Amino acid sequence: MEKKKRTPKINYLEVFGPTIQGEGMVIGKKTMFLRTYGCDYSCDWCDTKYTWDGSEKHNMKRATPQEVFDELKETAGDKSFSHLTISGGNPALQKESMSQLIDICHENGVKVGLETQGSIWQDWFYKIDDLTISPKPPSSLMKTNFLTLDDMVDKLVAENVNFSIKIVYFNEDDLRYAKDLFKRYKDKGYDIPYYLSVGNATPYTSDDITKQLIDKLEELWDLVMNDEELNDVQALPQLHAIVWGNARGV
Amino acid sequence: MEKKKRTPKINYLEVFGPTIQGEGMVIGKKTMFLRTYGCDYSCDWCDTKYTWDGSEKHNMKRATPQEVFDELKETAGDKSFSHLTISGGNPALQKESMSQLIDICHENGVKVGLETQGSIWQDWFYKIDDLTISPKPPSSLMKTNFLTLDDMVDKLVAENVNFSIKIVYFNEDDLRYAKDLFKRYKDKGYDIPYYLSVGNATPYTSDDITKQLIDKLEELWDLVMNDEELNDVQALPQLHAIVWGNARGV
Backbone dihedral region for residue A155 (phi beyond 0: left; psi -120 to 50: alpha; all else: beta)? alpha
- For B185, the 3-state DSSP assignment is helix
| DSSP code, position A6 | P
Q: Which residues of B touch A179 (CB under 8 A)?
A: none
Q: Which residues of B touch A195 (CB under 8 A)?
A: 28
pLDDT tens-digit profile of B40-90? 999 999 989 999 999 999 999 999 999 999 999 999 998 889 999 999 999
- Give the pLDDT of residue B14: 96
For residue B186, is pLDDT > 80? yes
- A225/B20 touch (CB, cutoff 8 Å), yes or no: yes
Q: Are strands A10-20 and A30-36 parallel, antiparallel or unpaired?
A: antiparallel
**What is the identity of the amino acid at B215?**
D
* Interface-testing mutation among A82, A234, A243, with chain B (most B C-beta atoms within 10 A): A234
Any idea what the Cα angle at residue B93 is, between residues B90 and B95, rounded to 5°?
135
Would you place residue B247 in the very low, low, confident or very high pLDDT band (cuts 50, 70, 90)? confident
* Interface-testing mutation among B29, B160, B210, with chain A (most A C-beta atoms within 10 A): B29
Alpha-carbon distance B93 to B36, whole Å? 9
Taking only Cα atoms into account, the Rg of chain A, rounded to an integer number of angstroms, comes to 18
User: Within a 13 Å sphere around the CA of A1, how many CA atoms are in the beta-carbon half?
Assistant: 2
For residue A1, is pLDDT > 70? no
CB-nearest to A231 from B82, B218, B231 is: B82
> Mean pLDDT across chain B, nearest whole number?
95
Kindly report the length of chain B. Answer: 250
Helices (H), chain A: 65-76, 96-107, 146-158, 172-186, 210-225, 239-244
- Give the pLDDT of residue B146: 97
Taken in order A27, A33, A39, A40, is the CA torsion positive or negative?
A: negative
- Give the pLDDT of residue B249: 72
B157 touches chain A (CB under 8 A): no
**Mean pLDDT of the region A147-162:** 98
Alpha-carbon distance B178 to B164, whole Å? 13
Task: Say what the ipTM of the complex is.
Answer: 0.93
Share of chain B above pLDDT 90, in %: 90
Q: What is the pTM of this model?
A: 0.94
- Give the pLDDT of residue A205: 87
Chain B residue with minimum CA distance to A244: B218
Distance from CA of B226 to the nearest CA of A (A): 7
- For A119, the 3-state DSSP assignment is coil
**Mean pLDDT of the region A217-246:** 95
- For A9, the 3-state DSSP assignment is coil
For residue A3, is pLDDT > 70? no
Share of chain A above pLDDT 90, in %: 90
| B139-161 exposure pattern, b = at least 16 Cβ within 10 A, e = fewer | bbebebeeeebeebbeebbeeeb
- B236/A81 touch (CB, cutoff 8 Å), yes or no: no
**Mean pLDDT of the region B132-142:** 98
